[in-house]
Amino acid sequence: MRKIQVITLFPEMFEGVLNSSMMWKAQDQKAVEFRMINLRDFGLGLRKRVDDTPYGGGDGMLLMAEPLFAAINDGKKFDPTAKVVLMTPRGMRWKQSLAQTWSDSNDDYIFVCGRYEGYDERIMTLVDEQVSVGDYVLTGGELPAMTIIDSIVRLIPGVLGGENSAAIESFSDGETLEYPQYTRPEVFNGLEVPKVLLSGNHGEIAKWRAENSLKAE
Ligand code: SAM
């Protein structure tokens, strides 16, 4: 069973996402085990402090190295070979082919979610991979971590319903976007389903789908 741990100040953000739909199913099937590590538990002093001002000045606060090291070590104690993945706009841009590779790899992961203005750079000594979900800045690493976890876990064999569901999806060949799809009724508000899809002619349907698949930019 794959093990995925997340270091976050906001573990409650993951409850809805990881306990619904495919992520719930993956746990139910024992394909994956999720473990939340609350960074606050490793905070310093009575107030469990996790952040401080940056050396050299500047706005905002940084997550301190000491609680982050302790939280990562806790994750490593639970799963010594797990890879440490830092969520950061500086990281490699996430894409479907990476989701497939990471899903196939059988590796376990510890996702580290930054907050505030970021983190003390010294945690890089413990980080194996840095990942970005795109060229924009979010408030924290939680949404990126959820996005990446979902994209990996749904590709674990057996998690998706149809065996071929993922194979024919957008980006599965690295560039093609899925063709338009329709379901009942045949006519809705005067809008008709393309006739070829009702024809039962599998060759023509495949041709129409190929013609109507887009190339991603
Ligand atoms: N000061 C940082 C900068 O300019 O790059 C942004 C910090 S951001 C407000 C707080 C945290 O959210 C980051 O440390 C990172 O963990 C996460 N984050 C924000 N945008 C992200 C993205 N596009 N991809 C991955 N993580 C992101």
* Nearest Cα residue to atom 2 of ligand 1: 117
User: Per mean pLDDT, which range of 92-106, 109-123, 136-150, 157-171 is the poorest?
Assistant: 157-171
Superfamily of domain 176-215: tRNA(m1g37)methyltransferase, domain 2 (1.10.1270.20)
Which helix (H) or strand (E) element contains residue 203?
helix 202-211
Nearest to 115 by CA among 78, 134, 142, 135: 142
| pLDDT (0 to 100) of residue 161 | 78
* 113-132: average pLDDT: 98
Q: How far is the centre of ligand 1, averaged over its atoms, from the C-alpha of 89 (Å)?
A: 5
Question: Where are the domain boundaries for CATH 1.10.1270.20 in the chain?
Answer: 176-215
Question: Where are the domain boundaries for CATH 3.40.1280.10 in the chain?
Answer: 2-153
Structure tokens belonging to residue 83: 């890879």
Is any ligand 1 atom within 6 A of the Cβ of residue 89? yes
Output 20 or 173, whichever has higher pLDDT.
20
Nearest to 153 by CA among 26, 11, 6, 34: 26
* 48-54: average pLDDT: 98
Inter-residue contact 68 to 39 (CB < 8 Å): yes
- Band (pLDDT 50/70/90 cuts) for residue 172 is confident
CATH of domain 2-153: 3.40.1280.10
* 166-176: average pLDDT: 78
